[in-house]
Structure 1
Amino acid sequence: MQIKRFERKEEVALHAAELILNTVAERPDAVLGLATGSTPIGIYEKMVESYRRRSLSFRSVTTFNLDEYAGLPASHEQSYASYMTRHLFGHTDFDPSRTHIPNGDADDPAAECAAYDELLRKHPIDLQLLGLGHNGHIGFNEPGSALAGGTHVVELKLATREANARFFTAPSKVPARAITMGIGSILKSRAILLVVTGPDKAEIVRESLAGPITTACPASLLQTHANVTVLLDRDAGRKLNDVIGNGVHSYNEC
């Protein structure tokens, strides 16, 4: 596991974007695993900027999003399908036929999960982007006594719904369930990029990266993967000084 800490979250976004862009430059038909939430927005902005400079095309890239809220149609403003259009797909040349997001409004969620897993088997992910939840969830894989390996429907913890309430008009509007890629699918990715910023994540960063490997902290299972890069800002990494030292990297351009 390679851990890099930067002074500012903007530098984290710059470096994360460059790692993704380099993957696409080296392999134009790369398969990317994508995430949503607050953290990736700055990363996607840099990817859009690169596209607008015409320095890179995404038309042959295949993408798989980690998750989607259950019960929300793709047209809903707070669906992750809408998020991806708003922040990335709608501003670039990604081929819609190659961009995959679980259908949260599927009539048969179990069948939707099975179909998503079949697509993942056909298109192994080259680089999976991840954020980190306050309780250690990655995707929507919540802490528990056991974790599902494949795509599945999950009941969202109260803490997760409260954390996401800022995106909705009221906490009660946050869906109680989601479809998420499983831990096993995430760990099959050839490379994983975990991006975390903010002082409120420092404790869970410590638990995830330097604590015991346990399903009570799903992100701790990343310690078992052979190719994980972790990008942190100073605040998120402040409790890892004994692991990575006191230094920070500097990154100014993408």
Structure 2
Amino acid sequence: MRSRHQDIADDLKHQITTGRIKPGDRLPSEVGLARQYEVSTATLRSALAVLQGEDLVEKIHGKGNFVRHRLRKIMYVGGWGTLDPWTAAEAALRVTDRPNEIEAHGHLAALMRVPNGSPLNEFLSISYQGESPHSLARIYVPRDLEPTEALSDDPSYMRTEGSFAVLSPLSAEVRETVSARSPTPDEVSTLRINPTTAVLAITRVAADTAGRVVEAALLVFPGDRVDAVFTTHHVTNERQTQG
């Protein structure tokens, strides 16, 4: 026997997929919907949870439930932390930064290869497609690196829409670790995703020629929104003999 909340979810899904309720539209209040379907608010919320799990509806705290715009899939290009310019432009992503001054401890200190308590600059970066959060990153740079050292005047090193990188021209080596995992509660809240949605987590560490870490970045993408591409170039050394 089908549950009542599944029937409600199916009815709302039909209205969304047929265009009766359009992307970006705000659904009636939960109390109003519960009254309309003659169910408790708990049953109604179970129905909305089904739609949220299918990425059809997102709940924005303090505003209500909205029909999601379909989020485009983008391409992460390994090695320099950028997004493919074609797919990034197509998805019309914008990136916001929130800077903060922190001290390195535990795992972060190990990642940056610095003693506990070392001062860092942290940048919380969130990409958006329209008003919907698409992906996020936490980027760490040693605080003693001056802006002119950490960034280049070369436009290829500047922050752009579709970039999660301020990779320094000092970088001689970039190491990336990729894993698929469940999102943390903070990632669920920030990205407005279902807790059962798998995310692609990329840890990128850039070091200079002396082995000092000049940037570390923790990138998180919902698994259905990104493809990651890594290219390896083989270098062949040719020796010329003199006669």
Question: Structure 2 length normalisation: TM-score?
Answer: 0.27
User: Which protein has the larger Cα radius of gyration, Structure 1 or Structure 2?
Assistant: 2
Q: Which protein has greater RCO, CA pairs closer than 8 Å, 6+ apart?
A: 1
Which of the pair is proportionally richer in helix?
1
Which of the pair is proportionally richer in strand?
2
Question: Structure 1 length normalisation: TM-score?
Answer: 0.26
